Homo-oligomer: A and B are copies of this chain.
């Protein structure tokens, strides 16, 4: 069914001392002397489900992850895309509040939640960094509520492009890991509307394609302007 050749998911690949990817989370791990384990998830593989016990916290090493909620009839809202360096699955309640799935073959580092909590209970600096990470997630969620509640389709897609440009552009080119449907479910649109908006921006000379998921931004200023 799935085309990934990378094994069956939850088998650990190896254990490592926490190598710093250059981020706040790495700093936490280092401070607390925590051991992380690397796992590999295949394309489309579920990492955890909504309401499952939150036993681990994850950081992406390579790949991309979507976290989402579903309505009973299948409507889906993606809350966030997680890219290398991003942390997800960090909770203060017993269970995960969204489902997490690998979008492409993805390597994650994971830490036992209990060990993080232990570190936070002993070290106020760790506690503060964890709080800050959750506050950062909240800030993105607040910005996204504004987008979902009040922006037009073109404004949403412009905002998405700027976000992805910022987060994954290499050499002026961004290689999107996710399909049009995922983008739509993130922006509260259908995949057709996303496609039309991208075509529109292409026609206006604001971006170029080299393959549907390889995008070069030609005019960031106009994207910023239409982001309102």
Chain-B contact segment, one of A13-21, A137-145, A199-207: A137-145
A1 at the interface (CB under 8 A from B): no
Among A75, A91, A142, max chain B CB count under 10 A is at A142
Residue of B nearest to A91 (CB): B135
Chain-B contact segment, one of A55-63, A148-156, A212-220: A148-156
Per a CB cutoff under 8 Å, which of B92, B127, B134, B145 touches A124?
Answer: B127
The answer to whether B148 touches A149, judged by C-beta atoms less than 8 angstroms apart, is yes
Shortest Cβ distance from A13 into chain B, in angstroms? 30
When distances are taken between beta carbons in the complex, the residues of chain B under 8 Å from A124 are: 120-124, 127
Q: Measured between alpha carbons, how far is A144 from B148 in the docked complex, in Å?
A: 10
A112 at the interface (CB under 8 A from B): no
The answer to whether A145 touches B135, judged by C-beta atoms less than 8 angstroms apart, is no
The answer to whether A148 touches B151, judged by C-beta atoms less than 8 angstroms apart, is no
Q: Measured between alpha carbons, how far is A224 from B151 in the docked complex, in Å?
A: 28
A180 at the interface (CB under 8 A from B): no
Shortest Cβ distance from A92 into chain B, in angstroms? 4
Per a CB cutoff under 8 Å, which of B71, B139, B141 touches A145?
Answer: B141
A188 at the interface (CB under 8 A from B): yes
Among A122, A124, A132, A138, max chain B CB count under 10 A is at A138
The answer to whether A79 touches B145, judged by C-beta atoms less than 8 angstroms apart, is yes
- A interface vs B, CB < 8 Å? 69, 71-73, 75-77, 79, 91-93, 97-98, 120-124, 127-128, 130-132, 134-139, 141-146, 148-151, 185, 187-188, 228
Other A-B pairs beyond A79-B145, A120-B131, A141-B145, 6, CB < 8 Å: A69-B146, A91-B135, A92-B131, A122-B124, A141-B141, A149-B185
